[in-house]
Amino acid sequence: MTTFTDDLGAEVPLPQPPRRIVSLVPALTEAVEHTTPGLIVGATDYCTHPPGLDVPRIGGSKYPTAGAAAELRPDLVLANAEENRPEDVQALRDAGIPVWVMDAPATVPAALASLRALLTGPMAMAAGTSDPAPAWLAEAERLWAPEPPPARARAVVPVWRKPWVVLGRDTFGGDVLRRLGVDHVYVDAGDRYPRPKLNELRQRFADGDADLLVLPDEPWTFTDDDGPDAFPGVPYVLVSGRYLTWYGPSLVDAHRELSAALP
């Protein structure tokens, strides 16, 4: 029996190397399958990477079917403190299934440190390797290590409309932008995902508090025809939501692609 400790301080006892893993977190699905292919035996409907992953689906991240996950007889389930409900995690643990819960990272370094703990802990046990850190993780750590440059733009970053929801305080996506020279105007908001009215958002630009609209393609699929229409005359950029909000192998390409897309 080997016992690990997840991000929330909970013990994760593994009597043997995990060979069957169910992931309730899209970014972790990609990280694990990319690093040690074949371990993922179940995932959510939103686990779209790596492309072609052919495993049973157990619903959305927020409302997966705990019973369906248990029926897959996993040796380990991967969850996230923000994306998954505590009651679902507890139901799986009550069924005797070990669950590793990743904290919701507020910064890129926090996400990378959490990934390293998972990949050099339970995943290293699964791979049976003494040198478990994958090359992509080391490269992501190198790319995102420098101190953020001076901000050259101040952005409003919606992630949903109807109602409008924007990036607020302590968000991974906000830190990604900051490390690429773009601050966002709701960084000091009381909520992580504030819901300001459209008039308030427009006023931010009218007052000069913001000069850029950053529109990701997930969770809301913003496009040239859906999003900019609400902010006539405001400079905007469309970006990959995966590059902005996923933590995992995508962080390597994200640094290059977002750097090229942002003004």
Integer angstrom CA distances of residue 232 from 144, 155, 228: 34, 15, 7
pLDDT at 1: 86
114: its two tokens: 């959490």
Please give the CATH topology (third level) of the domain spanning 2-143. Rossmann fold (3.40.50)
User: pTM, whole model, 2 decimals?
Assistant: 0.92
Q: What pLDDT is stored for residue 257 in this prediction?
A: 97
pLDDT for 187: 96
Residue 108 and residue 127: Cα distance in Å, rounded? 25
| DSSP secondary structure, 140-205, as one string | HHHHH-SPPPPP-EEEE-EEETTTTEE--TT-HHHHHHHTTTEEETTTT-SSSS----HHHHHHHH
CATH 3.40.50.1980 residue window(s) in the chain: 2-143, 153-261
Q: Write the class of the CATH domain 153-261.
A: alpha beta
Residues of the chain below pLDDT 70? 60-65, 130-131
Read off the tokens for 15: 């009597």
Question: 187-195 long-range contacts, Cβ below 8 Å, gap at least 24?
Answer: 192/168, 193/159, 193/165, 193/166, 193/167, 193/168, 194/165, 194/166, 194/168, 195/163, 195/164, 195/165, 195/166
Residue carrying the six token digits 């427009």: 202
The predicted structure's pLDDT at residue 131? 62
